[in-house]
Structure 1
């Protein structure tokens, strides 16, 4: 299958995959996708999908699970493809598998995976990871923050089956990335100067959502 080109026509198309199915157990059962973010209080899923689109990813698929109907009704996801994950309660792995399966029919040569609950990761970090892939042809790439691996991560299409096979429970692409790192096959892209990997996991973390420019560094 020949790779399609991206929006600029200068390289292979890189899709965006947003994992947004979590139920927010440590937030008292508040689905993370619907958390109000920024001055306008728009759903967090809306902002995160916008990050992928602003970085040039296309298509952008958004995996939904907890409160899916409410997310579809309340979030503006025009230009994105919602993907249902009925097994979302089993953990992130099922969302990654569902997302990769949904992208199989597309012409994307690679996919950038972003988590909905990291509002301080913005287009600059995503674009940096994509640029590393486009420049070096690495099939696997990951952002790092002061040398610590985090998200977003990029998976070249040839590695999708391996990533899906290892995605169980709350383990997404962790195993395939760790294995690649040991073999020197993982491109690490420092993003600590343009983003931060803070997760919104507990009520104390909700303050991250009030930062006026959170997610748009």
Structure 2
């Protein structure tokens, strides 16, 4: 089985929130630290983090982790540019074909168990795409077979990896994970997370 690399996409400026969501705190750690520690606890061979906006301050908080830190100079052009930065680094680091699992830093309830289950589902079903299902959709985290990485490199602008889901519905297996529906885009989202933590 090909190894799996986890790419955490954390380059955005959090414009809807008004300040860097990567630095919001949950259970005593920032959302970005949560995502990194969740990824590092899996069976993946490497963890890469793509930064863009606020890269300097974020780097200071996470440089001690055993990760590959990447800088997306074109982060303002959209998520596709961060996907490309991460994939290029994976290809540079790994000589063998590598599956890639994309994570976002604003889904704080994602667990190491879910990510490991996704890798296991890939191995058992041999499907090219493993997604998480929640709130009536399939989305991140998402794992892609090495054979699809060149197509992911063709994404542009605001296009995300979900574009391939509509193109290849027969290649998808989805793992139900309702908690993935909580992503932090607004102050109301963050308040819901804080309420959950306090309950």
Residue 36 of structure 2 corresponds to residue 49 of structure 1: yes
1:136 alignment counterpart? 125
Match of 1:59 among 20, 23, 46: 46
Match of 1:172 among 157, 160, 167: 160
Report if the CA contact (8 A) 1:32-1:117 is conserved. yes
Runs of 5+ consecutive residues of structure 2 not aligned to the other structure: none
1:101 alignment counterpart? 88
TM superposition shift of 1:212: 4.2
Report if the CA contact (8 A) 1:43-1:75 is conserved. no
TM superposition shift of 1:77: 4.7
TM superposition shift of 1:67: 0.7
1:202 alignment counterpart? 186
Judged with a 3 Å threshold, the aligned counterparts in structure 2 of structure 1 residues 149 and 142 are, in CA distance, closer, same or farther, namely: same
Aligned-partner Cα distance in 2 for 1:208–1:85 = 30
Instruction: Describe the SS at the equivalent of 1:15.
Output: strand
TM superposition shift of 1:147: 4.8
Q: CA RMSD in A?
A: 1.8
Instruction: Describe the SS at the equivalent of 1:150.
Output: strand
1:185 alignment counterpart? 171
Aligned-partner Cα distance in 1 for 2:126–2:32 = 30
Q: Give the number of equivalent residue pairs.
A: 195
Aligned-partner Cα distance in 2 for 1:202–1:148 = 20
Aligned-partner Cα distance in 1 for 2:171–2:124 = 15
Judged with a 3 Å threshold, the aligned counterparts in structure 2 of structure 1 residues 77 and 145 are, in CA distance, closer, same or farther, namely: farther
Residues 72-87 of structure 1: pairs in structure 2 closer than 5 A: 72-75=59-62, 77-87=64-74
Aligned-partner Cα distance in 1 for 2:156–2:185 = 20
1:7 alignment counterpart? none
TM superposition shift of 1:56: 1.9
Residues 118-133 of structure 1: pairs in structure 2 closer than 5 A: 118-133=107-122
Taking structure 2 as the reference length, the TM-score comes to 0.90
Runs of 5+ consecutive residues of structure 1 not aligned to the other structure: 1-10
Judged with a 3 Å threshold, the aligned counterparts in structure 2 of structure 1 residues 189 and 162 are, in CA distance, closer, same or farther, namely: same
Aligned-partner Cα distance in 2 for 1:169–1:212 = 35
Instruction: Describe the SS at the equivalent of 1:25.
Output: coil
Aligned-partner Cα distance in 2 for 1:145–1:127 = 18
Report if the CA contact (8 A) 1:36-1:209 is conserved. no
Report if the CA contact (8 A) 1:33-1:43 is conserved. yes
Taking structure 1 as the reference length, the TM-score comes to 0.83
1:6 alignment counterpart? none
